[in-house]
Chains A and B, each alone.
Chain A
Amino acid sequence: EIVLTQSPGTLSLSPGERATLSCRASQSVTSNSLAWYQQKPGQAPRLLIYDASSRATGIPDAFAGSGSGTDFTLTISRLEPEDFAVYYCQQYGSSPRTFGQGTKVEIK
Chain B
Amino acid sequence: QAQLVQSGAEVKRPGASVKVSCKASGYTFTSFAMHWVRQAPGQGLEWMGWINTGNGDTRYSQKFQGRVTITRDTSASTAYMELISLRYADTAVYYCAREHLVSGGSCYAYWGQGTLVTVSS
Map CB proximity to B onto A26-69 as digits: 1 under 8 Å, 0 otherwise. 00001111110100000011110011101011000000000000
Report the count of interface residues on A (CB-CB < 8 A): 29
Q: Is B47 an interface residue (CB 8 A)?
A: yes
Residue of B nearest to A31 (CB): B104
B109 pairs with A56, CB closer than 8 A: yes
Classify the interface of chain B: helix, strand, loop or mixed.
strand
Map CB proximity to A onto B102-121 as digits: 1 under 8 Å, 0 otherwise. 11111111011110000000
* Closest 7 pairs (CB-CB, A-B): A33-B104, A44-B111, A35-B107, A31-B104, A99-B45, A97-B47, A51-B104
Provide a sorted-by-A list of 30 A–B residue pairs whose CB atoms are within 8 angstroms. A30-B104, A31-B104, A32-B104, A33-B104, A33-B105, A33-B107, A37-B45, A37-B108, A44-B111, A44-B112, A46-B111, A47-B109, A50-B107, A51-B102, A51-B104, A54-B102, A54-B103, A56-B100, A57-B109, A90-B45, A90-B107, A92-B105, A92-B106, A92-B107, A96-B61, A96-B62, A97-B35, A97-B47, A99-B44, A101-B44
Q: Which residues of A contact B (CB under 8 A)?
A: 30-35, 37, 44-47, 50-52, 54, 56-57, 88, 90, 92-93, 95-102
